[in-house]
């Protein structure tokens, strides 16, 4: 029955990446977080861990030379790839046409800064990306905010950022990224990635972060995010002191904290997103 098995796709290897980059005379920039995956096994692992299936429309941010894009096209119904670098966005359709012509019709490439993205068509169900590291958190939060049809996703980020995104209240790494991501989704770490699977090799380790959308708290998001920003701007202070500016004065902050059932002498790092939402609603 071997004939019924789909033929495994030619994913990009290190020589392919070198050849494609040389064709563009591309010098990967740190500013755009350009570290390209050169290892097909890593791509397969990402796609498998993301749980993407034939009904999924996937949005990918930063397709680069197409390593992950090809792996996603193999399993998804459609892929919309958002790339800020015109040379990379321009090359991607021909790379896919070369490596996997039968999958070309499933790909849309959009030349855009993901930080400015408002909509994606067709409406995506999943977000899978090897994110540019310096903008990973704002890109993730932006997509969760702007694309309500996103049900789940998997992103590769700097290991330290993976820790922060998935941190529970009370832990050392818990902070603004953790609590804002928790507004939209259940977030968890989904594995570690070494440096050698990239070209050029970054000088930090990477980690995978999985998320599944959840019902957000019943509160105003912008107001909740304001109080989160205020609480963590001075994270060593008690909430009574840290939120004095936000509430108008320390006594006013204490009153609102008490009204929300929160100890005014606690610190922001012990509050969950539901606590912040309650506080914002006082
Ligand atoms: N997905 C490819 C891979 O795994 O080999 C490349 C990943 S590389 C870490 C990040 C990619 O994001 C680069 O192609 C870079 O040009 C692109 N990028 C950087 N900032 C971006 C932004 N604000 N919006 C969209 N793409 C961006």
**Is the shortest distance between the CB of 130 and ligand 1 below 6 Å?**
yes
The pLDDT value recorded for residue 3 is 44
Model confidence at 1: pLDDT above 60: no
Mean pLDDT across 85-114: 97
**CA quadruple 264, 269, 275, 281: dihedral sign:** positive
For β-strands 78-83 and 57-61, DSSP reports them as parallel
In the CATH hierarchy, which fold is given to the domain comprising 221-280?
Helicase, Ruva Protein; domain 3 (1.10.8)
Which residue puts its alpha carbon closest to atom 5 of ligand 1? 36
In Å, what is the CA distance from 102 to each residue of 79, 96, 172?
A: 14, 9, 48
The pLDDT value recorded for residue 6 is 55
Model confidence at 7: pLDDT above 60: no
**Is the shortest distance between the CB of 75 and ligand 1 below 6 Å?**
no
Residue 228 — pLDDT band, cuts 50, 70, 90? very high
**Is the shortest distance between the CB of 111 and ligand 1 below 6 Å?**
no
**Which among 82, 84, 109 is the best mutation to test ligand 1's pocket, defined by most ligand atoms within 8 Å of the CB?**
84
Helix intervals (H) in the chain: 14-24, 40-50, 67-75, 86-99, 136-146, 159-166, 176-184, 221-233, 239-242, 244-247, 250-259, 273-280
Which residue puts its alpha carbon closest to atom 23 of ligand 1? 113
pTM: 0.95
Question: Could you tell me which residues are beta bridge partners of residue 127?
Answer: 59, 153
Mean pLDDT across 134-163: 98
Delimit the domains of the chain by residue range: 14-213, 221-280
Which residue puts its alpha carbon closest to atom 21 of ligand 1? 84
- The more confident residue out of 6 and 160 is 160
Q: Over pLDDT 90: what percentage of the chain? A: 95
**Is the shortest distance between the CB of 263 and ligand 1 below 6 Å?**
no
Domain spanning 14-213 has what CATH number?
A: 3.40.50.150
For β-strands 57-61 and 126-130, DSSP reports them as parallel
Model confidence at 2: pLDDT above 50: no
Q: Which of 166, 120, 157 is nearest to 142 (CA)?
A: 120
Mean pLDDT across 209-218: 97
Residue 223 — pLDDT band, cuts 50, 70, 90? very high
Give pLDDT tens digits for 240-273.
Answer: 999 999 999 999 999 999 999 999 999 999 999 9
Q: What are phi and psi of 19, to 5 degrees?
A: -65, -45
Residue 82 CA to ligand 1 center (angstroms) comes to 8
**Is the shortest distance between the CB of 198 and ligand 1 below 6 Å?**
no
Model confidence at 127: pLDDT above 90: yes
Q: Which of 84, 146, 99, 139 is nearest to 120 (CA)?
A: 146
The pLDDT value recorded for residue 9 is 79
- Exposed (0-12), middle (13-18) or buried (19+): which is 142, by Cβ within 10 Å? middle
Q: Which of 183, 185, 279, 161 is nearest to 230 (CA)?
A: 279
Give pLDDT tens digits for 165-201.
Answer: 999 999 999 999 999 999 999 999 999 999 999 999 9
Closest ligand 1 atom to Cα of 198: 5
């Amino acid at each position: 029955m071997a004939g019924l098995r789909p033929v495994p796709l030619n994913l990009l290897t290190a020589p392919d990446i070198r050849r494609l980059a040389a064709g563009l005379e591309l010098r990967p920039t740190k500013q755009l977080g350009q570290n390209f995956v050169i290892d097909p096994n890593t791509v397969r692992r990402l796609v498998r861990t993301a749980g993407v299936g034939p009904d999924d429309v996937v949005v990918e941010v930063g397709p680069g030379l197409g390593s992950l894009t090809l792996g996603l096209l193999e399993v998804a119904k459609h892929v919309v790839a958002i790339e800020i670098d015109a040379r990379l966005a321009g090359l991607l359709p021909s790379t896919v046409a070369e490596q996997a012509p039968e999958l070309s019709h499933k790909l849309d490439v959009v030349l855009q800064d993901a930080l400015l993205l408002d909509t994606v068509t067709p409406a995506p169900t999943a977000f899978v990306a090897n994110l540019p590291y310096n903008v990973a958190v704002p890109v993730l939060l932006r997509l969760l905010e702007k694309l309500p049809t996103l049900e789940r996703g998997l992103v590769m980020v700097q290991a330290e950022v993976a820790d922060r995104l998935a941190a529970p209240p009370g832990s050392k790494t818990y902070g603004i990224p953790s609590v804002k991501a928790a507004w939209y989704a259940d977030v968890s770490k989904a594995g570690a990635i070494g440096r050698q699977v990239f070209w050029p090799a970054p000088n930090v380790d990477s980690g995978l972060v999985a998320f599944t959308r959840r019902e957000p708290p019943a509160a105003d998001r912008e107001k909740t995010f304001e109080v989160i920003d205020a609480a963590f701007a001075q994270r060593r202070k008690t909430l009574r002191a840290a939120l004095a500016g936000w509430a108008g004065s320390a006594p006013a902050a204490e009153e609102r904290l008490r009204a929300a059932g929160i100890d005014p002498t606690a610190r922001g790092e012990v509050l969950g997103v539901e606590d912040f939402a309650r506080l914002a609603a006082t």
